[in-house]
Amino acid sequence: MKTTLLIIASMFSISACGGGSTAATTPTPPVVVTPPVVVTPPPVTPAVPSGGIPAGWKQVWADEFDKDGLPDASKWDYDTERNKAGWFNNEKQYYSRDRLENARVANGKLIITALKEALTGAADYGGQSYTSSRMLTRGKASWTYGFFEIRAKFSCGLGTWPAIWMLGTKGVWPDDGEIDIMEHVGKNKGQILGSAYSAAYNWNVGTGNTKQTTVNDACDAFHNYQLRWDENQLNIGVDDKYYFQFVNPKDGDYRKWPFLNPQFLILNLAIGGDLGGPVDDSIFPAQMEVEYVRVYQQ
């Protein structure tokens, strides 16, 4: 009996001295922190500003064309660079230099005249059957941002292609930008075109950025062709009413927005070409008249 009691006591002792609890421990699940969802609002297209000279902006450059004779050489040069090789867009004119027959100031106006003639004796003659003028402020004046107003009227003969426009001073097209304040072609009387081109947006790659408006008497009366340009957008209009808006995406992509650098102004009357189309030789002389060019800046 003593032996039995010892065995029972020994068994009890082993059970009582076991290595801890046999109950299972449930692990604590990790805390998962979900980051807040950040919603980026779509870019806001800036409002189109009201037309006319912006309040508080000051005139910084102008030509009132108040002195008869050749255009003011301190303000204007002539582009004749492609006469020999042929002009872009298959245009048919020869652009002359310092020639009253093609560009003169008279009666308070600049008059650019296109004629049916061939200047075969000119050293840079390229076989053209028409003469005209392409005047520009390159090397004389250029601007980054501003309000530009050009008061003008045009001949509407078939084949005429007058233009008021700007190019970047860096000199690479279309990378450095082109702004067309006004284009008109005689085959579409009264249809005025405004455009802005860059490396990303141009007609060569099928992304040309052009809008149009109608000015029924563009060939019979003077109108104010206008550009407002700042760091946010370009706006092109006629008589204080904008019909074209091109917004700066502000993503740092120069291909989309090269319009943070200076541009110079061009006035020309082209003949024929890809946009001008067939030419009616009975329309000559054809003219582009400009009463003034005025530039304002903040």
For residue range 232-280, list pLDDT tens digits in order.
999 999 999 999 999 999 999 999 999 999 999 999 999 999 999 999 9
Q: Mean pLDDT throughout 197-224?
A: 96
Residue 201 confidence (pLDDT): 97
Nearest to 130 by CA among 168, 160, 162, 171: 160
CATH number for the domain running over 58-297:
2.60.120.200
Report, in angstroms and rounded to the nearest whole number, the Rg of the chain calculated over CA atoms.
36
Give Cα 161 distance to the centre of its chain.
19
Predicted confidence (pLDDT) at residue 6 exceeds the cutoff of 50: no
C-alpha 81/C-alpha 78 separation (Å) is 9
Task: Report CA torsion sign: 60, 152, 230, 203.
Answer: negative
* DSSP code of residue 23: P
Residue 37 confidence (pLDDT): 73
Residue 182 near residue 225, CB atoms below 8 Å: yes
Structure tokens at 195: 């455009």
Per-domain residue ranges of the chain: 58-297
Nearest to 260 by CA among 164, 177, 141: 177
Predicted confidence (pLDDT) at residue 5 exceeds the cutoff of 70: no
The pTM assigned to this predicted structure is: 0.86
Nearest to 140 by CA among 291, 295, 298: 295
* Percentage of the residues of the chain whose pLDDT score is greater than 70: 87
Predicted confidence (pLDDT) at residue 21 exceeds the cutoff of 80: no
Q: Mean pLDDT throughout 220-226?
A: 98
Predicted confidence (pLDDT) at residue 3 exceeds the cutoff of 70: no
Residue 2 confidence (pLDDT): 42
C-alpha 185/C-alpha 7 separation (Å) is 121
Predicted confidence (pLDDT) at residue 17 exceeds the cutoff of 50: no
Give residue 292's pLDDT band: very low, low, confident or very high (50, 70, 90): very high
Distances (CA, A) of 94 to 134, 170, 193: 9, 25, 24
For 281, other C-beta atoms within 10 Å of its C-beta total 11
Secondary element (H or E) of residue 265: strand 263-271
Residue 147 near residue 228, CB atoms below 8 Å: yes
Half-sphere exposure of 172 (CA within 13 A, CB side): 8
Please, where are the H alpha helices in 129-284?
273-276
The label of the residue with tokens 């039995």 reads: 4
Residue 271 near residue 102, CB atoms below 8 Å: no
Residue 32 confidence (pLDDT): 67
Residue 264 near residue 137, CB atoms below 8 Å: yes
Task: Report CA torsion sign: 121, 125, 130, 134.
Answer: negative
Give Cα 105 distance to the centre of its chain.
29
Q: Mean pLDDT throughout 209-213?
A: 97
Residue 36 confidence (pLDDT): 73
Any idea which residues carry the catalytic annotation? Answer: 178, 183
Give residue 230's pLDDT band: very low, low, confident or very high (50, 70, 90): very high
Residue 9 confidence (pLDDT): 41
For 36, other C-beta atoms within 10 Å of its C-beta total 6
Predicted confidence (pLDDT) at residue 73 exceeds the cutoff of 70: yes
Question: Which of 3-7, 30-34, 161-165 comes out lowest in average pLDDT?
Answer: 3-7
Question: Which of 103-107, 202-206, 226-230, 241-245 comes out lowest in average pLDDT?
Answer: 202-206
